[in-house]
Structure 1
Amino acid sequence: MEDLFGNPIDDKTSIPIFADVILPVPIPWMFTYMVPREMEPIIGIGFRVIVQFGTRKILTGIVGKIHQKPPKEYDAKPLLELLDNQPMVNPLQIKFWHWIADYYCCHIGEVMNAALPSGMKLNSESRLQLNPTFQDSGSDYPIDEREKIILDHLETEGELTFEACGKILELKSAHHIIKSLVAKEMVLVYEQLKEKFTPKIENRIRLSALFVSDKSALEALFAKLESKPKQEEIILKYLQQVPVYKDEKINHEGLDKKLLTESGISVNSLRTLIKNGIFEEFTKIISRFENLPTNPDTLSLSPVQEEALNQIKEAYKEKQTVLLHGITGSGKTSLYIKLVQEVMDSGSQVLLLLPEIALTTQMVNRLTKVFGNKMGVFHSKYSDNERVEVWQGVIQGRFQFVVGVRSAVFLPFDSLGLIIIDEEHETSYKQHDPAPRYHARDTAIMLAYLHQSKVLLGSATPSFESYYNARQKKYGLVELNLRYGEAQLPHFHMADILADKKKNLLKLDTTRLLREKIQEALNNQEQVLIFQNRRGYAPYINCEDCSWVLECDHCDVSLTYHQFGEEMRCHYCGFKQKVPTSCPACGSNNLVTVGQGTEKIEENLAMLFPEARIARMDLDTTRSKYGYQNLLENFSAGNVDILVGTQMITKGLDFGNVTVVGIVDADRLLYFPDFRSGERAFQQITQVAGRAGRRQKTGNVIIQSRKPDHPIYQSILSGDYRNFYLQEMGERQQFFYPPLVKNIKITSKHKEFKTAETAALHLKNLLQAIPVKKIILGPEKGLIGKIKNQYIFELLIKLDKNGQAPPIFKEHLKLVLEELAAAKAFKSVRFIIDVDPV
């Protein structure tokens, strides 16, 4: 037997092998374990292993390194178990994880925790068993009735989970009773590993081999079953579905048992046929994904698209990354399909990233028609089991092309040829909590660098960061300025809210112009999208007599009124309470709702257009697994006339019959305390406007505003992204903001206001001493000063993005945070680092 280094293993004299294991804990290093002799010939980098961590914890880890150096600080424990017969993570992924940990100032274990689907991380489940010493000698302690019930169950069942104890006693939690039994030394608590991933099993049946190989045996069987028509019918139905005499081999695969039992046959008769050996029953592991055919591509590109495709390929000769700046409806998806096909034909893998699940539904339907089973889909609405199947499918080569949201960058690709990032400007690509707080666009570019592959960034309204890199010649730049086919850009109309209010033309917060355009669309049997980036019925409830506002008990925000469910809800911590009937401050019953969310707009439109079929798309209506899909299918089928939605409806959706888009409160996007508010307003309004008139019919976009003359609206109306970018960049240059500098935001959180503030001030003093050129703003109280009973203070650091300033600063920052963590006054303060905040 040889070890991993090719040396013969001698159990008595060979040097032991050690594995550095990445564990899902927020600690900045790997942990060294001894590799048992029997694992040495198999184990390698990327294998999943089970280890003991501390005295009782059992964790799933990933082998990050194999070596022969024992740890100096502690005795290495042995690995408990090897979970797979092949690596689940490749060395390139581990290199990628290390880069993310370094760049985003987090720990490798946190990256691993985010990267692996939870179905691949075994968890330990606490269980009880009777203490053998108690069984032998009994106990002098008194036992109450509930403890006796648990002991009796343990006598008969041998072991119980904590959850089972609660169910037996009909309690939400039985922990206090278990704690008492442990203290009395009557029971022992131990950990049992629980595998999360379970393959999908299908029960199948097949005809016994005797009746397949010998036709006369089958004829004899039919003669025997003449008096048993139900059994005869089952065999005939099977032979219709599985023509064994045309091809004997197909009998081996058999037939899904459900196809027979659901066709109305006698289940008892089938049972008898299996018992008598005429049919064999067996199980088969099957995919959770439909078996879809791959259809040949009949896609034809316009001359403008062909030219853009050629420009992209030409740019790739010199650049790794290309920005495709194509206006809404210009046919960027068609270019993606062509590029994906070419890369797949070369034998390489492709990753297409989309910003949100809402967008995957429509895009996936289109791509499935072209790529069939070669394409996998990966997003958070999939179950743990489905995500594990996609992960394994990539390893096994089943999925050469994957469409997914930001977490898809962690899939185990080994030969990526192309990464496409659609709607690359979207903030949904940024992970906020928990760590790693990565940006999928930027990490994908690094992933492509590691694979030596190409990146295509697509957007009608590129992020300033990407457009800046393109103008600096770091990226290639290709522009598509015409819509596909005969489609024309929509006509923009500004609707002055204040002017309509003065003339008494404003009805239910809707201007006359918007009402007229909606009615016109309904008369022509066309569809309407209404955009309001606030869910719920109203932002808050207000007392008209004393101005009291109902606020969250745990956060510095007002509670949002949700009419559906009749409750007040905090969108930050989830706190809920019933709608008050009177003001607790002054006792008045004069409570009114202020502002409007998607619920209220839906109600208003129902009053204005009673004949219209109205639906709402926001977080509340799309919580279920297929919530997005069902809504989009209904809208696409023409079963909905008006769709009211939050930013979900702005993201790349393609509906041929939408001719009117209304933006209810554009000013809310614009007047937000953020240096990016202008950029965001331009992006969101342009994107939602792009949903209108995507076929032969010209669309209309109505923007309701109290300041219709604002310069940003003029830029949107003219569609002049370049001039808008240049104007905004002038301000960013003056005040040192990205993309000209690198931002790092550090947040201090604590349950006590003074402690959070003092910690932030102390942190600033320590950061000032770091020897790099920088600007430190703050500490300032967060925009929302308290969330989930934690007070928030923020520091913003601006660094020169070129040169060594960012890595030097990050290296010193680690030491500063270690120093603060060691200080008694700040032990309980939580410091959150956000690199490149959005």
Structure 2
Amino acid sequence: MDTLFGDQYDAKDEKSNLFADIILPVPIPKMFTYKVPRNLSEEIGIGYRVIVQFGKKKVLTGIIGKVHQKPPSNYEAKPIMDLLDSYATVNPIQIRFWAWMAEYYCCHIGEVMNAALPSGLKLSSESKIQLNPTFDADTCSYPLDDREEILLQALGQKEEMSYEDCESVLGLKSIHVIIKSLVIKEAILVFEQVKEKYSPKVEARVRLANAYAADKKLLEALFNEISVKPKQEEILLKYLQEVPVYKKPELNQKGIEKKVLTDAGLSTSSLKTLVKNGILEEYKLIVSRFEREEGSDEEISLSSEQNEALIQIKQEFEEKNTVLLHGITGSGKTELYITLIKEVLAGGSQVLLLLPEIALTTHMVGRLRKVFGSKMGVYHSKYSDNERVEVWNGVLSGKLSFVVGVRSSIFLPFDSLGMIIVDEEHESSFKQFDPAPRFQARDAAIMLSWLHQAKTLLGSATPSFESYYNARMKKYGYVALDKRFGEAQLPAYYLADMLVDKKKNLLKLDFTRMLREKIQEALNNQEQVLIFQNRRGYAPYISCEDCGWIPECEHCDVSLTYHQFGEEMRCHYCGFKEKVPNTCPACGSNKLSAVGLGTERIEESLALLFPEARIARMDLDTTRSKYGYQRLLEDFGSGNVDILVGTQMITKGLDFDKVTVVGIMDADRILYFPDFRAGERAFQQITQVAGRAGRRDKKGSVIIQTRKPDQAIFEQIISGDYKQFYIQEMGDRQRFYYPPFVKIIKITTRHKDFKTAEKAAKYLHNLMGEIPVKKILLGPEKGLIGKIKNQYIFESIAKLDRSSNAQAQFKHELQHILEELQAQKEFRTVRFVVDVDPY
């Protein structure tokens, strides 16, 4: 493979002998060399998007990684078909970052590119086109040629067309030039088949007819005329209150949103009459999907503890590039973030704030928007492709200097990052599991900061053991913030023994007496309650009471989760679902019962126990829609919900004044999980969700339901003794060779045939044993879930020495082994997945 970085070519070089190495969004371990046509030789450069032919028929968007004069030795270079932009879409730092990610996470740079670029920037032969709803041929400032007009006429008859459809309509073999031209003229929009189609955000507005806005006497005469029609008069008065045309007639042109009038409870029929009579004009305006408002100059008021922490952070940054801010829940980390962001932006640099969940972005965006206004962008997976392109271009053009986003936002085209803040840095949501690159956003952010010579601030109330270890080893700076902001007090913890309550017949619908009483007390005081259960669905599974039959997925080795809503059973791995049977398929019994607890079942139980309470549920099923999180949080924040039941989504950074009770339904289920991080995650999740209670002047209560209340971890959680818990756990980690004392790489072997998968896994495992580095190899073992989506799964684990040389050598040799195996006919259809830092 050619090296990724090369000096830019000299425009005076021989233009006919110019070649470009192109990064393509395909899982192939090298770039492809294409010939640069003479007419493009002075226009292209590193990071430019180009259209190229890949294979016989495919057309793909690629990114130029290098320009040079060396032709490929083993194939004839095809010419670049076209240049998509007159500027670089990707900058050289991004390409270096992609290259590092491909190397470190054992994947291909094309896979990184595929993850990095929004689909709206990846034009391909699999793309589809639609008419741009905002396009008007009569007012278009660019002339259309005959072929473009034919294509637009065809699109007028169809909602969408594929590349093949366009080629057929025009009788051409290649139509990318025409499509590019129509995109530039904003006549069409390109979208991916699997993605939602773009539709602009349209705002209904009204304004006063110009004749009345320009002539005060005419307006006064109008009021005299409609004084007998009070509903119409009320609408006009409301309009003039919002738009003072007497003082500034020019404001009338913009008008107001129609909903300002309708939401005020004014008569819609009278509004229609005013429009019909030509007094008001109704029109539609296409607006940006992102709010544009000015930021506030208001100074953030810091407590003495926060000020001390801020001074310490700055001192640590003088010597260290990464600092861990260990601040207990409610200590006011967000105010510190805002202060630091303001300072970095004032210095002319960019800032990225990484959050683990979309729910957190929803909660924090409003607060941050008030401070930073239109300088700030938001980037997450619930945005459409077109919205993500809008943010991408905003960063590229410099309009957005501060971005709040989830893990994918590390791929944005920053060119002068000054700081990355990773909030809740311990969260497992920062890890990308599928597809490649399987990266850890926190770790990748530290590398991205290094490339930009920027600083990284990691914030958490319960830091990951890796970050805390690095802080104790003086690799990272460390700042503690151990007092809650303002008058807020830490919550009181209570352990509720489920077995004792069960023996005394006090357990009702899986709620202990203590938890029921605390909930009732909060409801009586018009306070709010959070109930945490890390399992969605009605119940984990259904079982036959007579023969023990449990329904299983047809494609995976897992039981189906029962969802009462819709009366169906679903697989949470492949999406398979089926209706709940009336009788047991195995023995014919009608004694089928739900076993275990899911959020849906808890919601139902709460409705029976507290019929007067308003209850909502927050889990993956209730937040699938784009604004699902936002609506739920707004309802809860405004007091329209008394009890919110949720999965781990509710443990992260939510701050509501009226929450005084937090209930943890089944702490043992979090603790007893087959993972070396089970204790660490239990400590983190319980501490984080407990931190939602008593966030202002009232002390909150946290009730932990457990069958084993005497476990040491509960004492450490209640006392907040993170350090003691860390020391205890790290002793076990060191003894049994787990991170942070070793690096782990998991290699998964998948195939539809069990014997082929097993044979390939053993063959791979034996070859890995021959790699000459210090290591411990485990496996191959059948996966914890042995079959997913009809693919049998085997896993091997490599524990490597932490030295970078050992890791680099193992990864390098592993790639060669996998290439050799895939080249063998027997294993050609076997899928090998390499996951670095998998847990």
Classify 1:453/1:270 alpha carbon distance in 2 versus 1 (closer, same or farther; 3 Å): farther
1:201 deviation in Å? 8.1
2:477 aligns with: 476
1:137 aligns with: none
Classify 1:161/1:586 alpha carbon distance in 2 versus 1 (closer, same or farther; 3 Å): farther
Superposition map of 1:97-246 within 5 A: 97-125=98-126, 195-196=190-191, 200=200
1:486 aligns with: 487
Structure 1 vs Structure 2 CA RMSD = 3.6
Superposition map of 1:81-100 within 5 A: 81-100=82-101
Classify 1:270/1:790 alpha carbon distance in 2 versus 1 (closer, same or farther; 3 Å): farther
Contact 1:126 1:161 in 2 (8 A): no
1:373 aligns with: 374
Superposition map of 1:327-726 within 5 A: 327-726=328-727
Give the Cα separation in 1 of the matches to 2:374 and 2:306: 27
Amino acid in the other structure paired with 2:703:
I
SS of residue paired to 1:299: coil
Contact 2:50 2:82 in 1 (8 A): yes
Amino acid in the other structure paired with 1:403:
V
Give the Cα separation in 1 of the matches to 2:389 and 2:769: 46
5+ residue gaps, structure 1, are 129-153, 167-174, 275-280
1:770 aligns with: 771
1:71 deviation in Å? 1.4
Give the Cα separation in 2 of the matches to 1:261 and 1:530: 39
Amino acid in the other structure paired with 2:775:
K
Give the Cα separation in 1 of the matches to 2:203 and 2:494: 60
Contact 1:742 1:800 in 2 (8 A): yes
2:302 aligns with: 301
1:242 deviation in Å? 9.7
Contact 2:206 2:257 in 1 (8 A): no
Classify 1:491/1:65 alpha carbon distance in 2 versus 1 (closer, same or farther; 3 Å): same
Amino acid in the other structure paired with 2:25:
P
SS of residue paired to 2:723: helix
Contact 1:327 1:480 in 2 (8 A): yes
Give the Cα separation in 1 of the matches to 2:488 and 2:280: 64
SS of residue paired to 1:722: helix
The superposition leaves residues 134-189 of structure 1 with CA deviations (integer Å, 9 ceiling, x where unpaired) of xxxxxxxxxxxxxxxxxxxx9998799999899xxxxxxxx9xx9xxx9xxxx999
- Higher mean alpha-carbon deviation, 195-204 vs 500-509, is at 195-204
The superposition leaves residues 758-780 of structure 1 with CA deviations (integer Å, 9 ceiling, x where unpaired) of 11100011001111010000011
2:321 aligns with: 320
Give the Cα separation in 1 of the matches to 2:159 and 2:776: 53
Contact 1:127 1:191 in 2 (8 A): no
1:287 deviation in Å? 2.6
SS of residue paired to 1:791: strand
1:131 aligns with: none
Give the Cα separation in 1 of the matches to 2:203 and 2:530: 46
Give the Cα separation in 2 of the matches to 1:271 and 1:347: 49
1:293 deviation in Å? 2.2
The superposition leaves residues 285-318 of structure 1 with CA deviations (integer Å, 9 ceiling, x where unpaired) of 7532112121122421111111011000000000
Classify 1:257/1:56 alpha carbon distance in 2 versus 1 (closer, same or farther; 3 Å): farther
Give the Cα separation in 1 of the matches to 2:521 and 2:281: 66
Classify 1:33/1:665 alpha carbon distance in 2 versus 1 (closer, same or farther; 3 Å): same
Give the Cα separation in 2 of the matches to 1:379 and 1:645: 21
Give the Cα separation in 2 of the matches to 1:296 and 1:604: 48
SS of residue paired to 1:316: helix
Give the Cα separation in 2 of the matches to 1:357 and 1:793: 33
Contact 1:539 1:559 in 2 (8 A): yes
Amino acid in the other structure paired with 2:82:
E
Give the Cα separation in 2 of the matches to 1:204 and 1:83: 34
Contact 1:292 1:373 in 2 (8 A): yes
- Higher mean alpha-carbon deviation, 62-71 vs 549-558, is at 62-71
Contact 1:125 1:161 in 2 (8 A): no
Amino acid in the other structure paired with 2:795:
E
Give the Cα separation in 2 of the matches to 1:191 and 1:14: 26
Give the Cα separation in 2 of the matches to 1:62 and 1:239: 53
1:15 deviation in Å? 3.7
Give the Cα separation in 1 of the matches to 2:243 and 2:508: 63
Q: Which of the pair has more CA radius of gyration?
A: 1
Give the Cα separation in 2 of the matches to 1:541 and 1:631: 29
The superposition leaves residues 699-734 of structure 1 with CA deviations (integer Å, 9 ceiling, x where unpaired) of 111111111111111211111000000000000100
Amino acid in the other structure paired with 1:797:
A
1:810 deviation in Å? 0.5
TM-score by length of 1: 0.85
SS of residue paired to 1:479: strand
Contact 2:350 2:402 in 1 (8 A): yes
Contact 1:58 1:191 in 2 (8 A): no
Classify 1:542/1:726 alpha carbon distance in 2 versus 1 (closer, same or farther; 3 Å): same
Classify 1:670/1:195 alpha carbon distance in 2 versus 1 (closer, same or farther; 3 Å): same
2:182 aligns with: none
Contact 1:199 1:285 in 2 (8 A): no
1:551 deviation in Å? 0.5
TM-score by length of 2: 0.85
Give the Cα separation in 1 of the matches to 2:99 and 2:589: 59
The superposition leaves residues 645-702 of structure 1 with CA deviations (integer Å, 9 ceiling, x where unpaired) of 0000001110111111110000000111111101011100110011001111101111
SS of residue paired to 2:97: helix
Contact 2:243 2:256 in 1 (8 A): no
1:123 deviation in Å? 3.1
SS of residue paired to 1:317: helix
The superposition leaves residues 512-546 of structure 1 with CA deviations (integer Å, 9 ceiling, x where unpaired) of 11111111111111111000000000100101111
Give the Cα separation in 1 of the matches to 2:639 and 2:260: 37
Contact 2:206 2:280 in 1 (8 A): no
Contact 2:206 2:281 in 1 (8 A): no
Give the Cα separation in 2 of the matches to 1:109 and 1:711: 48
Classify 1:159/1:417 alpha carbon distance in 2 versus 1 (closer, same or farther; 3 Å): closer
The superposition leaves residues 17-41 of structure 1 with CA deviations (integer Å, 9 ceiling, x where unpaired) of 2111111000011111122222222
Contact 1:324 1:456 in 2 (8 A): yes
Contact 1:127 1:161 in 2 (8 A): no
1:756 deviation in Å? 0.9
Give the Cα separation in 2 of the matches to 1:397 and 1:238: 38
Give the Cα separation in 1 of the matches to 2:105 and 2:43: 34
1:195 deviation in Å? 2.3
Classify 1:718/1:206 alpha carbon distance in 2 versus 1 (closer, same or farther; 3 Å): closer
Give the Cα separation in 2 of the matches to 1:405 and 1:388: 16
Give the Cα separation in 1 of the matches to 2:69 and 2:759: 46
Contact 1:349 1:417 in 2 (8 A): yes
2:800 aligns with: 799
1:492 deviation in Å? 0.7
SS of residue paired to 1:195: strand
Percent of matched pairs sharing the same residue: 65
- Higher mean alpha-carbon deviation, 435-444 vs 375-384, is at 375-384
Amino acid in the other structure paired with 1:640:
V
Classify 1:530/1:245 alpha carbon distance in 2 versus 1 (closer, same or farther; 3 Å): closer
Contact 2:326 2:460 in 1 (8 A): yes
SS of residue paired to 2:318: coil
The superposition leaves residues 595-623 of structure 1 with CA deviations (integer Å, 9 ceiling, x where unpaired) of 01001101111111111111110011111
1:198 deviation in Å? 6.5
